[in-house]
Amino acid sequence: MKEKLLKAIEERKNELYELVGALIKINSESIGTTGNEAEVARFVKNYLEDIGVESELYSPMSIEGFEKHPDYLDGHNLENRFDVTGVLRGKNSQKSVMLMSHSDTVPIGDESLWSFPPLSGEIRDGKIWGRGACDDKYGIAVGLFLMKLIKELGIKLDCDYYFTAYSDEEYGGGNGSLAACLKYKCDDYVNMDCKNFELWVAGVGGGDVLLEFAADSPKGSCGDAVEALYILKKELDLFGKARKEELLGEELYKNTYIPDTSMILLEAKAGDEGNDLDKGHILIEYFTNKTEEEIDLEFEKMCSDANTKLKEIGFKITKREMTTRFFHFVKSDYQNSYVVKTLAKSAKETSGRTLIPSGAVLSDLSLIVKNGSPNAVAFGVGRAFDVYGGAHQRDENISCDNLLEFAKIMGSFLMNY
């Protein structure tokens, strides 16, 4: 039956590509704390109904006690932001696995800078193009496509197969994946929000932090605020160096690029086009293996040291605020993990690919390991943030060949599980 499924994936690959394109055509941009996933959620729900799969569309807020959960992130508007979960019952309902992908995307940005309409879902040059192509609508398409084929071919898996398209991932939301884990308890979870066939078995901690500063008296130029920015940047560089050193000590991270990017400057500003010349701010993203309490103490010391130097030019830090959730550092029990072994076996027998466990950037894997299963992993074929057409970039795209290989690996995984 496995060969029958793999053959169907190959023969009907154009259906998969077109499904990715159809999902891209649906605008599901997250803008800060507000999302726009309702239409894509209903598309997923209708697709599951059309193929006869048991499913539910639900709001994270419908889960009893959700707002009181320690990992609930207040401040993200969850109105009309739905999760959708479908389930194919198998021969053994004592075993269950959930494949997951998020349905929201980052904003399109300046459409004039794109080479084609960003919601076109165009298939061209062996790629599928558009916002969400590699982050993360390809994963939704694979999850749905496999459910359709397994159902139509009359295959009865040895487990219950759950698929969830979850909301509120971008901008450090996490409420959608948290809701799915709380509502549907499975033995294993595979989050298909990953890149380049990497197998993530650890989730780095950290988040985004905004620091605002101001002068003790009005200024006629933002020049002094620029100097204050420079002082803050120097202190943050020391903070980032400490983060790099701690991640280099983690086996799953030391051979990745992540320690070198453990403190990223996202935005720096002094003045505001002739206004507020005595003010500025700096926004960073950082990665850590420390607890929230430990890192908070380091921030307090860093701000104290910075304020000592800022005082010399008449400035001080006026605000420190997390603009995302704090992501907890997590590691799955990957060395004894059935899901890791099964994914590795499936990749090797399907395409000869060797999967090497490594650590993830900030992602919802942190929440899924903590609230779903300690064996949860992330695996996928998304693309890096720093390449042309990668995640969050204009001209976002995904390779059809990589997508097809990934679908076959995941099909084999479900048959082997």
* Residues in the chain, pLDDT under 70: none
Q: Are residues 298 and 339 in the same domain?
A: no
Q: Quote the CA–CA distance of 33 and 76 in Å, as a whole number.
A: 5
Task: Name the domain count of the chain.
Answer: 2
Q: Are residues 306 and 218 in the same domain?
A: yes
Whole-number percent of the chain with pLDDT over 90:
97
Q: Are residues 155 and 284 in the same domain?
A: no
Taking only the tens place, the pLDDT of each residue in 64-100 is: 999 999 999 999 999 999 999 999 999 988 999 999 9
Q: Which two tokens stand for residue 375?
A: 């064996």
Q: Are residues 298 and 347 in the same domain?
A: no
Q: Are residues 374 and 347 in the same domain?
A: yes
- Picking from 303, 298, 302, 300, the residue whose alpha carbon sits closest to that of residue 315 is 303
Q: Are residues 244 and 189 in the same domain?
A: no
Q: Are residues 92 and 164 in the same domain?
A: yes
Q: Are residues 127 and 267 in the same domain?
A: no
Cβ contact 328:245 at 8 Å: no
- CATH of residue 117: 3.40.630.10
Q: Are residues 32 and 176 in the same domain?
A: yes
Taking only the tens place, the pLDDT of each residue in 358-402 is: 999 899 999 999 999 999 999 999 999 889 999 999 999 999 999
Q: Are residues 14 and 148 in the same domain?
A: yes
Per the listing, tokens 């394109």 go with 21
Q: Are residues 340 and 193 in the same domain?
A: yes
Local structure of residue 195 (DSSP, 8 states): B
Q: Are residues 52 and 134 in the same domain?
A: yes
Could you list the residue range(s) of the whole structural domain that residue 139 is in?
Answer: 2-203+327-416
